[in-house]
């Protein structure tokens, strides 16, 4: 009965956290048109590098190394899980893609860096994992962190 209800889902919304890749992978739906992820983990220390942030390149590199050691596998599971859902939707609805919306409250410096065309690290990683069956978009909340 739960799986039948899941097949009728059109929109899924999650707060980004551990095991989210596994949770998404367990949804059998072929009708999900929109997946919302709120405040991706791993972005609070800065997910793009911009010299105006006051971080040294060394500090940023060590941050990326921490992501590689501790968080990248979760991003990979997340991307693969979303891709599976999006592929099922695309196969049932030819030519249509699942929208993946990342809702994120940036700091002022992050918002400026993104406005200048920098791509946040978590966005780049998810884009690599999603493939061509999903459209990824970043929705910045207006209330920015300091």
The residues, ordered by sequence, that sit 6+ positions from 87 with a Cβ below 8 Å of its Cβ are 131, 133
The residues, ordered by sequence, that sit 6+ positions from 127 with a Cβ below 8 Å of its Cβ are 136
DSSP assignment string, 78-89: HHHHHHHHHHHH
For residue range 45-87, list pLDDT tens digits in order: 566 777 776 777 888 778 777 766 776 666 667 888 889 889 9
Decide: 97 and 90 in contact? Cβ < 8 Å. Answer: yes
Q: In this structure, how many other beta carbons lie within 10 angstroms of the beta carbon of residue 3?
A: 10
Per domain, the residue ranges of the chain are 30-140
pTM of the full structure: 0.78
pLDDT the model gives residue 1 = 47
For residues 37 and 86, give the distance between their C-alpha atoms in angstroms, rounded to a whole number.
15
Highest mean pLDDT among 3-7, 48-52, 111-115, 122-126: 111-115
């Amino acid at each position: 009965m739960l799986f039948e209800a899941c097949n009728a889902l059109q929109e899924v919304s999650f707060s980004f956290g551990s095991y989210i890749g596994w949770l998404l992978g367990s949804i059998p739906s072929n009708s999900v048109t929109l997946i919302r992820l709120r405040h991706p983990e791993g972005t609070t220390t800065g997910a793009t590098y911009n010299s105006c942030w006051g971080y040294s390149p060394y500090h940023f590199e060590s941050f990326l190394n921490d992501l590689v050691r501790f968080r990248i596998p979760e991003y990979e599971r997340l991307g693969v899980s979303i891709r599976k859902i999006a592929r099922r939707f695309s196969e049932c609805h030819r030519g249509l893609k699942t929208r993946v919306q990342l809702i994120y409250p940036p700091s002022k410096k992050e918002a400026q860096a993104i406005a200048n065309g920098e791509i946040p690290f978590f966005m780049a990683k998810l884009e690599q994992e999603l493939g061509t069956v999903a459209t990824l978009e970043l929705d910045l909340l207006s209330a920015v962190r300091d």
